[in-house]
Amino acid sequence: MADSVLVVGGAGYIGSHMVKLLASTGHEVVVFDDLSTGHRDAIASSVLVEGDLRDPVAITKALALRKFSSVLHFAAKCYVGESVQDPAKYYGNNVLGTANLLEAMRTNGVGKLVFSSSCSTYGDPVMTPMTEEHPQDPVNPYGATKLMGERAMKDYGRAYGLRTVALRYFNASGLDADGTLGERHDPETHLIPLVLREALRLRAGGARDATQLQVFGDDFDTPDGTCIRDYVHVSDLCAAHLLAMRRLDAPGRAFEAFNLGSEKGSSVLDVIECCRRITGQDIGYKMAGRRAGDPARLIASSERARRDLGWSPRYADLPEIVSTAWRWFSRT
């Protein structure tokens, strides 16, 4: 009999890609989502339980629907700037919501969890590439709430036997290779979609000098002066979740954390130039000042995930990642 998996936040960008992978590998999937940022059409015919993770009754009822083998937790508010301006939203959703989920799992006897965490739990890098042993000292409420989630999972593991794998993403990017799943954030803050939207504007006849695309800072200690980030394809993130689920089948592991990144750094200008080549559009931009808290470099060491999970990114290079995204953005 196929395993039943509850995907919390399964109608969002990464969650919907995960739902598709789970369905294709024979799992029975139930999605729990409030659709505040997710989309019903992104999860096809999968069972949807519409509910708010901040409501303990709603998530407890969802977990009682059937005997779930594990839970995948993607439901988080995730805008760094917004978390600084409105921390209450982040502590309410990311901390209180996660606490409700953990308690509902305990009530319903579900003992395995894969948690979408973030490199934001590390804060400013003191070493690159960043390993899982890097100090966790987040510099914004988003990272702080992700770290609080990890700590709660460790405590539940020690006290109640919960087994958790926390996957610390670097920059999630790209789209499903067949072009059927998109990236629809409002507002959009991810660099690659913003650059591709500018390419679409130019393709439709827009003037290059009317661009609203901004580059925040050109005076960092990097070869071209712009920030360097590690981009990892969304489908590779989902593959890691599947491997993490299998790892949790082995007894004796209460909490483990793994970085997920390509281990390659691309600057903001590298990304723009790559998008120019892929789209054939002469994409322009406006230079703006640095954003508070932006480090010069964030690059993962994913050695532990390779060694212990058997994970290896399929989309290892930036042009491959951008091409999958452009396939969806340019579909019309």
Distances from the Cα of 30 to the Cα of 7, 47, 103, angstroms? 6, 5, 19
Q: What tokens were used for 15? A: 């969650």
To which residue do tokens 């290079």 refer?
317
Q: What tokens were used for 84? A: 């600084």
| SS3 label, residue 176 | coil
Structural contact between residues 170 and 121, judged by C-beta atoms closer than 8 angstroms? no
* Measured distance CA(55)–CA(53) in Å, rounded: 5
* 31 phi/psi in degrees, rounded to 5: -105, 130
Burial 69-88 (b: 16+ CB within 10 A, else e): bbbbbbbbbbbbebbeeeee
Catalytic residue among 13, 90, 122, 142: 142
Indicate if 142 belongs to the active site. yes
Instruction: Return the active site residues.
Output: 142
